[in-house]
Amino acid sequence: QVQLVESGGGLVQAGGSLRLSCAASGRTFSTYAMGWFRQKEREFVAAISWSGGSTYYTDSVKGRFTISRDNTKNTLYLQMNSLKPEDTAVYYCAARTTHGGSDYYTAEYEYAYWGQGTQVTVSS
């Protein structure tokens, strides 16, 4: 099992940046594929394989958001640049076990573990 705690949300003006973090407990973080979703019916945002070698983004954030992970710190990140008002949402990180180093997952139902969420508000 893994427990996830997000942080880094806040209020920012349009065009600004935020970096979200997701701290994970457990010794096997490096074997979990991870993802970020946002509350609009848990819309998929970005995903990363356990190795960090494979990433995937929803079209609306490509070129603006970057997902990354530091397996030595058991932490997942989402760097968000050029933020827009439509990015306003509660952001959740999610995790699931995987055996493939390059596997990533984009559907909510594919993830077993979720954090409590962090609010991101972008003002116009």
Q: What is the dihedral of CA 3, 71, 93, 15, to 10 degrees?
A: 140
Provide the pLDDT for residue 33.
94
Tens of each residue's pLDDT in the chain, 124 residues:
889 999 999 999 999 999 999 999 976 888 899 999 998 678 999 999 999 999 999 999 999 999 999 999 999 999 999 999 999 999 999 999 987 778 999 999 999 999 999 999 999 9
- Report residue 45 as tokens: 């945002």
Residues 69, 71, 73, CA angle at the centre, nearest 5°?
Answer: 95
* In the block, residue with structure tokens 């909510």: 108
Q: What's the confidence (pLDDT) of residue 77?
A: 98
Q: Exposed, middle or buried, 69 (CB in 10 Å: 0-12/13-18/19+)?
A: buried
